[in-house]
Structure 1
Amino acid sequence: MTQQEDDRPEGRRGDPVGFVIAAGLLALAAAVAWDASGMGAVSSYAGIGPSAASWTVAAALTALALGTVVSAVRGKIPVPEPSDHAAVLTILAGIAGMIAIISFGGGFIPAMAVLFGLTARGFGRRALLTDLGIGVALGLFVYLGFTKLLALSLPQGPIEHLF
């Protein structure tokens, strides 16, 4: 990203876009903190409970919001580079495909194959069949690792019932 030139009129302080971004980050931090406060005070090993990660995320988002305010006041918000809308839509299609496959009982492995294949396509790779195969292999590896080694359950479909 390139830095924005300081072409503001004399006497004008700050970058309004930076303040909007900071407000969004702060709102997100407040939502995470509110959710963390409802988790209860159950503590496990070493006094750290399930809400510790959420409080950490809320604190990090607050720090990012404060840093963004400082950058906005200084007028140093980077100008975003142009995006490739086709690539973004391809990756979003991969996410939507993954959600649809899992929702309709297709299983974890095919969902991950579609997600991997379309994400690789979004990043510019053109070997879709190869990428779908790689996605199947990675999905199988993750599925077996989670279900057999960690004894966690992942969405099952026809392929997963073979294992």
Structure 2
Amino acid sequence: MTQQKEDRKIAPVGFVIAAGLLILAAFVANDAVGMGAVSSYAGIGPSAASWAVAAGLGLLAAGTLVSTLRGEVPTPEPSDRAAVLTIVAGIAAMIATISAGGGFIPAMALLFGLTARGFGRRALATDLGIGVMLGLIVYLGFTKLLALSLPQGPIERLF
């Protein structure tokens, strides 16, 4: 048992992850402070969710730090760089499509198709079609049922 504890090494990446989580918690908490003290039902205002997220991130940072000091941070597995880049390209395509005024539905189709490709599926045309249908369902659900606005493009103006 003591041999196992001696074999464990403290991984510096754990400190980096804990610090990143703590910095993110600080940003979220700073945003919550800027929301003001407006309260609604039961004294809970709009900043309550931000405070909860900041507290959760702080707890994750503390847990990561404890795990790191105990030498319990697992060694990461190698990643498939092509798959990661394809998924990042999907996110970039979604952002670019919405920024260029293409609308929510085509953006979601690109995101879905490229993410499916990143996960190993090779039927891009089918996945783009599925993405269009899912984007349409989400768009109609949010805009018609929940009365929330999503980015509009030529397709969304038809509804």
From the two aligned structures, give the one with the greater helix fraction. 2
Contact 1:6 1:75 in 2 (8 A): no
CA distance in structure 2 between the partners assigned to 1:17 and 1:62 by the alignment: 17
CA distance in 2, matches of 1:93, 1:5: 42
1:7 aligns with 7
Q: Secondary structure at the match of 1:40?
A: coil
Partner of 2:156: 160
| Unaligned ranges ≥5, structure 2 | none
CA distance in 2, matches of 1:45, 1:116: 38
| Secondary structure of 2:62 counterpart | helix
User: Please, which of 81, 92, 97 is the counterpart of residue 96 of structure 1?
Assistant: 92
Partner of 1:20: 16
Q: TM-score, normalization: structure 2?
A: 0.93
How far has the Cα of 1:27 moved from its partner? Answer: 1.1
Letter matched to residue 102 of structure 2? G
Q: Which runs of 4+ in 1 moved over 6 A?
A: none
Aligned to 2:59: 63
The superposition leaves residues 74-117 of structure 1 with CA deviations (integer Å, 9 ceiling, x where unpaired) of 11111001000000000011011011111111111000000000
- SS in structure 2 opposite 1:64? helix
Per the alignment, do residues 108 and 5 of structure 1 end up closer, same or farther by CA in structure 2, a change over 3 Å counting? Answer: farther
Contact kept in structure 2, 1:25 and 1:61, CA below 8 Å: yes
Q: 2:26 aligns with which of 27, 30, 33?
A: 30
Secondary structure at the residue paired with 2:114?
helix
TM-score, scaled relative to structure 1: 0.90
Match of residue 131 from structure 1: 127
Taking the aligned partners of 2:94 and 2:65, their CA distance within structure 1 comes to 37
* Partner SS, residue 43 of structure 1: coil
The aligned counterpart of 1:143 is 139
**One-letter identity of the residue aligned with 1:138:** L
> Is 2:80 the partner of 1:84?
yes
Quote the sequence identity (%).
81
Amino acid of the residue matched to residue 7 of structure 2? D
Matching residue of 2:38: 42
CA RMSD, Structure 1 to Structure 2 (Å):
1.6
Q: Specify the code of the residue in structure 2 equivalent to 1:131.
A: D
